[in-house]
Chains A and B, each alone.
Chain A
Amino acid sequence: MKVLMRGNEAMAEAAIRAGCRCYFCYPITPQGELVEYMARHLPRHGGVFLQAESEVAAINMVYGAAAAGARTMTSSSSPGISLKMEGISYLAGARLPAVIVNVMRAGPGLGNIAPAQGDYFQATKGGGHGDYRLIVLAPSTVQEAAELVMLAFDLSDRYRVPAMILADGMLGQMMEPVELPEPILPQMIPPKPWALTGAKDRAPNVVSSFDLDPYRFREILRALWEIYREIERNEVRWEEYETGDAELVLVAYGTMGRICRTVVRQARREGLRVGLFRPITLWPFPSEPLRELSHRVPVLLTVELSAGQMWEDVRLAVEGRAKTPFYGELGGVVPTPDEILSEVKRYVRG
Chain B
Amino acid sequence: MSVVEAKVPAGFVPVYTRPKSLSEKRFTYCPGCHHGIITRLVAEAIDELGIQERTVGIAPVGCAVFLYEFFRCDFAQAAHGRACAVATGIKRANPDLIVFTYQGDGDLAAIGAAETIHAANRGENITVIFVNNQIYGMTGGEMAPTTLPGMRTVTTPEGRDVRITGYPLRMSEMLAQLDGPAYITRQAVFDVRHVQMARKAIVKAFKNQIEGKGFSLVEIVAACPTNLHIPPVEASRWVTEQALKYFPLGDLKVRD
Contacts and interface: CB of A to CB of B under 8 A. Distances in A.
Direct contact of A and B (CB under 8 A): yes
Size category of the B interface is: 20 to 34
B77 interface: yes
Interface in A63-84: 79
A36 B5 CA distance: 43
A39 B65 contact: no
Given A39-B154, A53-B145, A54-B110, 15 more contacts: A26-B110, A27-B142, A27-B155, A29-B139, A32-B139, A32-B140, A32-B142, A32-B154, A35-B154, A36-B154, A51-B142, A51-B165, A79-B80, A109-B79, A110-B65
B164 interface: yes
A202 interface: no
Given A27-B136, A29-B140, A110-B65, A50 B81 contact: no
Contacts of A35: 142, 154-155
Contacts of B228: none
Identify which of B111, B157, B164 gathers the most chain A CB atoms within 10 Å of its CB. Answer: B111
B113 to A, nearest CB: 7
A89 to B, nearest CB: 19
B143 interface: yes
Interface string A30-72: 0010011001100000000111011100000000000000000
Given A26-B111, A28-B139, A39 B165 contact: no
A28 B155 CA distance: 12
Interface of B: 61, 65, 77, 79-81, 106, 110-111, 113, 136, 138-140, 142-143, 145, 154-157, 164-165
Contacts of A36: 154-155, 157
Identify which of A35, A49, A53, A79 gathers the most chain B CB atoms within 10 Å of its CB. Answer: A53
Nearest to A43: B158
Contacts of B79: 79, 109-110
A27 B65 CA distance: 16
Question: Which 7 residue pairs of A and B lie closest in terms of their CB atoms, listed nearest first?
Answer: A54-B111, A27-B142, A27-B139, A53-B110, A39-B155, A36-B154, A51-B155
A28 B113 CA distance: 18
Contacts of A40: 157
Given A35-B155, A39-B154, A39-B155, A53 B142 contact: no
B79 to A, nearest CB: 7
B165 to A, nearest CB: 7
